[in-house]
Amino acid sequence: MKDKLLVMLDMQDAMNSRVNANWRSADNAWYRAIWTECAEMLDHYGWKWWKHQAPDLDQVRLELVDIFHFAMSDYLLGQSDNNLVAERIISELADPTQESDIRVAIETMAKSTIANHSMHFSEFANIMNLIDMDFNHLYRMYIGKNVLNFFRQDHGYKDGSYIKVWQGREDNEHLAELLDELDSESEDFKDAVYSGLNDRYPV
């Protein structure tokens, strides 16, 4: 678990640096990105009593992965040693809070994040449990999303030339297929994801 966390922390640092080489001094409000993603996650789960809503757990999981990006970035700012960051995250994940209502759990994490200007992974772990998402699933989805973000940057995302729909489907749908096909335990997993995207991308 620690080895996988170290991989993800390195990838997050690299992605942040790709967007802004001076991201550590940019004073980004990571906590704000987290609580707004919580609102999106709640919308995907459903909370409106005046209309029929079926929980979209795939989208809920994707929002949780996005939150993981922001929370790791926040923790990286507070500690220069990635080993210590990984150990802190592992310790917090091992002690999940026990809220059984997912809507309340999401709200609690958002409220705590706003109050502390930082997220705690014990609340994150509680939500993982409520949506049947184990650490290996989180790892697989995180690597995929991070690689896709790099792929987009490499193919003109910033200047607007990137093509998001391939063969009638969005890039994240192609990514989901690749993640089902590839072995996330392989040492070259992230390279295989990038290569798979590259093979499918229209040129």
pLDDT > 90? residue 177 = no
Q: Which residues contact 172 (CB under 8 A, 6 or more apart)?
A: 148
Q: What percentage of the chain carries pLDDT values higher than 90?
A: 75
Sign, CA dihedral 58-60-61-66, equals positive
Q: Please, which pLDDT band fits residue 18 given cuts at 50, 70 and 90?
A: confident
Upper half-sphere CA count for residue 43 (Cβ side, 13 Å): 8
Do 127 and 92 touch, CB atoms closer than 8 A? no
* CATH superfamily for domain 1-133: Type II deoxyuridine triphosphatase (1.10.4010.10)
Residue 18 CA: distances (Å) to CA of 80, 83, 149: 19, 22, 10
Q: What is the CA radius of gyration of the chain?
A: 17
- Reduced DSSP (H G I as helix, E B as strand, rest coil) percent helix, strand, coil of the chain, to 5: 70, 0, 30
Q: What is the mean pLDDT of residues 10-20?
A: 91
With b meaning 16 or more CB within 10 Å and e meaning fewer, what string describes 60-76? bbbbbbbbbbbbbbbbb
Q: Torsions phi, psi of 166, nearest 5? A: -115, 130
Q: Is 34 helix (H, G, I), strand (E, B) or coil?
A: helix
- pTM value? 0.86
Taking only the tens place, the pLDDT of each residue in 67-115 is 999 999 999 998 889 999 999 999 999 999 999 999 999 999 999 999 9
Domain ranges (residues) in the chain = 1-133, 135-203
* Mean residue pLDDT across the chain: 93
What average pLDDT score do residues 18-44 get?
Answer: 94
**For residue 127, pLDDT beyond 90:** yes
